[in-house]
Structure 1
Amino acid sequence: MVQEGELQGRGKAMWGSQVRLWFVAVACIALLSACFIISCVVTYHFTYGKTSNRLSELHTYSSLTCFSEGTSMTEKVWGCCPGTWKSFGSSCYLISTELNFWKKSEQNCVGMGAHLVVINTETEQNFIVQQLNKNFSYFLGLSDPQGNNNWQWIDQTSYTENVRFWHENEPNFSAEECATIVFWNHRGWGWNDVFCDSKRHSICEMKKIYL
């Protein structure tokens, strides 16, 4: 016969084994929960972090104008620009009416979370010129800092691989190290090299905010 003490010992052993099993189960659940939470935080950071940063950069604007740009897997995608900016493609554009030097114009754009415009396609240029006044010229984000015909876009876009819309026989003077877009009778809109310390209007460009 099994002695009472032996039964008690077996009961305690079984109870201890169950406790250990419960402890392991609880620990696994806690670990899985922690992994899930960390995964959510990381996903949120990468998915929404950039948008939040962009929105905080643009906190000075009183309003945003948003347009539906198709749908993602689960919801609509909205592309937004500050209320006074023009929307085209993945960018927003502001036509500045202030007259400034090239460097000051770029600083003003940067202060708004943008840069002087970089023109990548003929379609983009055609859109931009529709917003411009034919009586003025406008600084582009294109310059030749050394005056050796090594033109550079402000956002590091490759000039050699990018489109170019210079007026005929332009650029033509090494001391004119900044580019503008200007309308010339019988030629239409095109690019021209000018002195960087001449005062011109300008065009700022920023990436859209996607919500």
Structure 2
Amino acid sequence: MLQERQLKGKGTCWTLRLWSAAVISILLLSTCFIMSCVVTYQFMMDHPNRRLYELHTYHSSLTCFSEGTMVSEKMWGCCPNHWKSFGSSCYFVSTTENFWSISEQNCIQMGAHLVVINTEAEQNFITQQLNESLPYFLGLSDPQGNGKWQWIDNTPFSQNVRFWHPHEPNLPEERCVAIVYWNPSKWGWNDVFCDHQHNSICEMKKIYL
């Protein structure tokens, strides 16, 4: 009987140890999971705040637009005041004439770059903001003058997305691009000299909150 009780006691003790180990493992895993969630949440919260902080050095205030209704979606897309919103970007039309390189630097100083046009809808939206009597620099150039056009943000230059005026580009010395209004073709791209002074268009990605 004594031996039997001792065996039962050992069995009970072993079972308790197994259960204790299991409970401790579950608690540890739960803690790790909770901590990972906290870290992920904190990163997600900090990321837009960093962008807001960075843009605050260039812009005093933002205008935000409701862009989603689902819980899983971003609810607000924000652009600096006086910038235009379209798709996932914000646009600013400069009324100051400068060389292409200086225009790009001015965009960079506002947390942006010269505009990169990817679709006809985007171009149509942009041209609605422009003065038909003025040319505007785009973020498109051919630095070597060999016909290898490239966008300022390294977006691949697609032959399917181009809006050149007829017979343009036409001179290898004209290594930058402006969007201009000509009759009868209306708005289109024209290769121009980079050291001529034109207005320009800046683009930045929206901030989502």
Q: Distance in 2 between matches of 1:46 and 1:157?
A: 27
Partner of 2:32: 35
Measured against aligned partners, the alpha-carbon deviations of 1:49-104 in whole angstroms (never above 9, x if no partner) come to 44233222211322211111122345662111111100011110000111111111
Question: Aligned to 1:51, which of 43, 48, 70?
Answer: 48
Measured against aligned partners, the alpha-carbon deviations of 1:16-58 in whole angstroms (never above 9, x if no partner) come to 8798568636643541343123321342255344423322221
Q: Distance in 2 between matches of 1:68 and 1:124?
A: 20
Partner of 2:63: 65
Q: Distance in 2 between matches of 1:18 and 1:169?
A: 86
Q: Distance in 1 between matches of 2:121 and 2:72?
A: 31
User: What secondary structure is seen at the aligned counterpart in 1 of 2:136?
Assistant: strand
Q: Distance in 2 between matches of 1:165 and 1:18?
A: 76
User: What secondary structure is seen at the aligned counterpart in 1 of 2:68?
Assistant: strand
Question: Aligned to 1:156, which of 148, 154, 161?
Answer: 154
Partner of 2:133: 135
Q: Distance in 1 between matches of 2:73 and 2:147?
A: 48
Counterpart amino acid of residue 50 in structure 2 = N
Does the 8 Å CA contact 2:119/2:161 hold for their aligned counterparts? yes
User: What secondary structure is seen at the aligned counterpart in 1 of 2:67?
Assistant: strand
Counterpart amino acid of residue 33 in structure 2 = F
Counterpart amino acid of residue 91 in structure 1 = S
Q: Distance in 1 between matches of 2:149 and 2:45?
A: 36
Structure 2: tracts of 5 or more residues without a match: none
Residues 154 and 38 of structure 1, relative CA distance in 2, 3 Å threshold: same
Within-5 A mapping of 1:125-204: 125-204=123-202
Does the 8 Å CA contact 2:65/2:77 hold for their aligned counterparts? yes
Instruction: After superposing the two structures, state which structure 1 stretch, 141-150 or 16-25, moved more.
Output: 16-25
Question: Aligned to 1:124, which of 119, 122, 125?
Answer: 122
Counterpart amino acid of residue 165 in structure 1 = F
Q: Distance in 2 between matches of 1:162 and 1:116?
A: 21
Counterpart amino acid of residue 187 in structure 1 = S
Counterpart amino acid of residue 78 in structure 1 = W
Q: Give TM-score, length-normalised by structure 2.
A: 0.84
Does the 8 Å CA contact 1:101/1:197 hold for their aligned counterparts? yes
Which of the two has higher C-alpha Rg?
Answer: 1
Question: Aligned to 1:103, which of 98, 101, 104?
Answer: 101
Runs of 4+ deviating beyond 4 Å: 12-23
Q: Give TM-score, length-normalised by structure 1.
A: 0.84
Instruction: After superposing the two structures, state which structure 1 stretch, 44-53 or 176-185, moved more.
Output: 44-53
Identity of aligned residues (%): 65
